[in-house]
Amino acid sequence: MSKEIILSGIQSTGNLTLGNYLGAITNFVKMQDNYDCYYMIADLHSLTIRNNPEELRKNTLKVLALYLASGIDPEKSTIFIQSHVTEHTGLSWVLNCHTYMGELSRMTQFKDKSAKHADNINSGLFTYPVLMASDILLYGADLVPVGEDQKQHLEITRDIAERFNKIYGDTFKLPNPYISKTGARIMGLQDPTSKMSKSSTIPNDTILLIDTPDVILKKIRKAKTDSDGAIKYDIKNKPGISNLLSIYSIISGKKIEELEKEFERKTYGEFKNTVGEAIIEELRPIQKKYNEIINDEDYLKSVYIKGAQQAQKLAKKTLKEVYKKIGLVI
């Protein structure tokens, strides 16, 4: 019996964060034993903002190296760079012609990113969900891991696929969200009401996977909390402490309730030190492997070439069927 297909990816803008790791990558590693996994580095999606070309190339390889260092196995999963599989853009144009302006204008992420990048509101930012739909539908993904900020994109993917299937006959599989039993939406350390982001400009807000132990401890100690001194999980009234409890819960494997009891008589300073040390130990083996891999250009190249070849086998088959159904000469 064939395994269900999972498709996911992370943009290659900036270094990966603790949020990327705990919220996504740890689940990528777990899923690869039970699913047919396609993990991409979404470099095309990164183009909606202005990038330094050399930095974009470096960041793409950094993401690949961190995927590998974190335990994503190229023998178990298909790991590829999005732009190396040209079928993504080929299908995207077809789907653009089956997507309505009104649908795209309702996307909250477009509104949010337009506000942040008011000097560069480009059409790629507007049609971003269509490229994402192409990513998913090319591989017949059964499941797509999505956070709160991506649910709309999965919904529009299903809408586009249903519309195409209704016009041209059964072509695309309708994907469903993958809801992880573990993992969490990790928030910023200085702004615990917003998701931890690699594009954050707030000092000490984000822990990067390649941060040194000293830097990690410094950022955790400076994490914004409150003044009542109680180590309790209460997102509304204590978002900072709640965020640190979530981080420590995932890393330690202990339930929030256990941690509340464990630190009942501890100070915020003691709690922060414990959380910081736990993060350092969690990332230590990943950083060691990353430092070995990132300078091995031949190995990285062999992984992304093999991954693109594997991905393209399925992508080509899908795009050929789509082209045939819409009447293109193939």
Catalytic site positions: 113, 195, 198
- How many angstroms separate the Cα of 113 from the Cα of each of 17, 65, 89? 19, 28, 22
Query: Is residue 10 a contact partner of residue 24, using CB atoms and an 8 Å limit?
Result: yes
Using DSSP bridges, classify how beta strands 143-145 and 176-178 pair: parallel, antiparallel or unpaired. parallel
Burial status of residue 209 (CB atoms within 10 A of its CB: 0-12, 13-18, 19 or more): buried
List of residues 6+ apart from 86 with CB closer than 8 A: none
Instruction: Using alpha carbons, select from 256, 229, 261, 253 the residue that is nearest to residue 243.
Output: 256
Q: What is the dihedral of CA 109, 110, 116, 121, to 10 degrees?
A: 160
Decide: helix, strand or coil at residue 279: helix
Q: What are phi and psi of 293, to 5 degrees?
A: -75, -40
Rounded CA separation 134/90 (Å) = 9
Rounded CA separation 258/255 (Å) = 5
Rounded CA separation 198/41 (Å) = 15
Instruction: Using alpha carbons, select from 106, 48, 50 the residue that is nearest to residue 82.
Output: 48
Across the strands, what pairs with 9?
A: 40
Rounded CA separation 22/118 (Å) = 31
DSSP at 195: B
